[in-house]
A and B are shown apart, each in its own frame.
Chain A
Amino acid sequence: MSPVAGEISSYLGRRARWSPLEIAFWLFAFATIWLFPGKHLILTETAILALFALSLDLILGYAGIISLGQAAFFGLAGYFSGSVAKYGLINEPVLALIASGLVAAALGFITSFLVLRGSDLTRLMVTLGVALMLGEIANRFSNITGGADGLQGVNIGPILGLFRFDIFGHTGYIYSLIVLFICFLIARRIVYSPFGLSLRALKGNPLRAAAIGIPVNRRLVAIYTVSAGMAGMAGALLTQTTAFCSLDVLSLERSADLLLVLIIGGTGYLYGGLIGAVIYKFLQDWIASLTPQYWQFWIGFVLVAIVLVGRERVEEWTAAMRAWIVGRGARLIARPVRLRASSEQR
């Protein structure tokens, strides 16, 4: 192998390796189970919001599809998981979670064809439209969804038949965190794959992407479907951990908040949704305890401040940190890959 090929192979092997900061992030995330036992309810909400934001980051940060309708998938799966539990169709939460994700993914697949063409503005409108329609359908069929009263009488069975949900939300939090972590692993794998690279390419220049043989539309459909599935899992988690589901899972506000979370956290490096969710939730919690009525004023204030300071400047400040997250570091998942590469060099 030529020296250049060797360098390329080792560079590519290094590229997807876990950095110490990433490992620390997840160790801390799991440590919160023991560190903040009294905060598990809000932490559960945070983990769910993080998963939801991760789903949007996959399409927005990597494929450049902006959406105001992620709530459609979140809400559909929320109602689905609530209904299968209520009517005893699937009593085991993990199975119900996967089924809900698949249902949301199916809706994502069908509606993906609407976002293939058009500008950012048309995409915003189309995705918003789908979510609004779904919201009204849920309102209209109140005999199934419970309408404005929400879905009552949802009984969630023990996870894997072993772990019961408790009133303090301990089980719910551990469950949500594990689901978030698994979905994150999948997203991370996708992003560092040839498929993920092709997404970044077609986000930057769809004309050229097609000119080197990338089936642009098919790739967009694929990632939109995956993203919808993840958003659906987040919605199902909310229903399962609260044993309740109401019309606000489909609201415009839910989709809009999600964009806010990604604006706070940043897009296109996977941790944006996670960090954004933590900041958003705790900001909300903290401000609401100061001024319960006007907390949205301060959320709006933060948003305006971010825009005024400028994304670029925030990105500049955090560039070193993000380069460190993405670039360097220890090996965990990429290790077998690395070993294979070096054994072939010999």
Chain B
Amino acid sequence: MPVLETIRLEKRFGGLIATNGVSMTIDKGARHALIGPNGAGKTTLINLLTGVLRPTAGSIILDGRNITALPPHQRVRRGMARTFQINQLFLDLTPLETIGLAVSERLGLGSDWWRLVGTRNEVTREIADTVERFRLADVMHKRTATLPYGKQRLLEIALAFACQPHLLLLDEPAAGVPEAERQELLATIAALPANVTVLLIEHDMDLVFSFADRISVLVNGGLFVEGKPEEVARDERVKAVYLGEELDA
């Protein structure tokens, strides 16, 4: 059964068609990559999937249930989390507070207004696991705004992991990550349990082809080609519109 399915998904901004009848399925446990030239509508598609934008037409099915009308936070509660291409962080909070927040929300403690933060051991333990895994322990008490970019990027990814999704949407996760942390980050993504499905948006073709077991190519808002990496790599039309010589090299 597919984890995620879109049916003729469409998004118009006035006269501009940003997403043009996209019907795609993402299978459980897949390592699915979404590629396409700049302006192809990749980020719009992610925003539709996560509920930031409402589609003009079409529907989105998560785990067999229609979630087209659900607000973003309820999609998160159903196990869909994302990272942002441009960091979206809580600049006034520390990494510790940020991660603690995500963990508290997931455990349903977020509306708890009487207990103090951190009085529950399961929360503390999870925060510790996450900051250690993403090597944020040394900066966990600093305001996020004061962190170097690389650390902020790690926090961006860590925050999505802290939601423990079974469907993770990664919007150019490696963009701007320093080389030293890059390998580590990719290893962390690769080490995700097999039952976690990943949809990766990425420009870096080496990364896409080493990671993905399925690739969708988006051009002008529409689904252009979809298939296994070797099929996509061989596809003449894809080469023509997008990949060019990159693949021959």
Contacts and interface: CB of A to CB of B under 8 A. Distances in A.
Contacts of A295: none
Contacts of B102: 212-213
B73 A8 contact: no
Given A12-B119, A201-B101, A211-B82, A194 B88 contact: no
Interface string B145-156: 000000000000
A265 B110 CA distance: 29
A5 B100 CA distance: 12
A16 B132 CA distance: 24
B92 A200 contact: yes
Interface stretch (A27-35, A252-260, A281-289, A334-342): A334-342
B181 to A, nearest CB: 19
A119 interface: no
Contact of A193 (B84, B116, B125, B162): B116
For this complex, into which size category does the number of interface residues on chain A fall?
35 or more
- Give the interface centre of B77, B104, B110, B160 by most chain A CB atoms within 10 Å: B110
Interface in A8-48: 8-9, 11-13, 15-16
A214 B118 CA distance: 18
B53 to A, nearest CB: 11
A74 to B, nearest CB: 23
Interface in B56-76: 71-74, 76
A143 to B, nearest CB: 41
B139 interface: no
Given A195-B111, A197-B100, A208-B84, A12 B117 contact: yes
B118 A9 contact: yes
Contacts of A341: 118-119
Nearest to B113: A195
Contacts of A1: 121, 124-125, 128
For this complex, into which size category does the number of interface residues on chain B fall?
35 or more
Interface string A191-233: 0111111101100110111111111101100100000000000
A2 B96 CA distance: 15
A209 B73 CA distance: 8
Q: What DSSP secondary structure best describes chain A's contact surface?
A: helix
Nearest to A210: B72
Contacts of A16: 116-117
12 contacts: A2-B128, A190-B113, A194-B110, A197-B93, A198-B104, A205-B88, A208-B89, A210-B72, A211-B84, A212-B76, A212-B159, A337-B119
Interface of B: 50-52, 71-74, 76-77, 81-82, 84, 88-93, 96-98, 100-102, 104-106, 109-119, 121, 124-125, 127-128, 131-132, 137, 140-141, 159-160, 162-163
Given A8-B128, A192-B116, 12 more contacts: A5-B128, A8-B131, A9-B118, A11-B96, A12-B117, A189-B114, A194-B113, A200-B92, A201-B101, A205-B90, A209-B90, A218-B111
The 6 closest A-B pairs by CB, nearest first: A12-B118, A5-B128, A213-B76, A195-B113, A208-B88, A210-B72
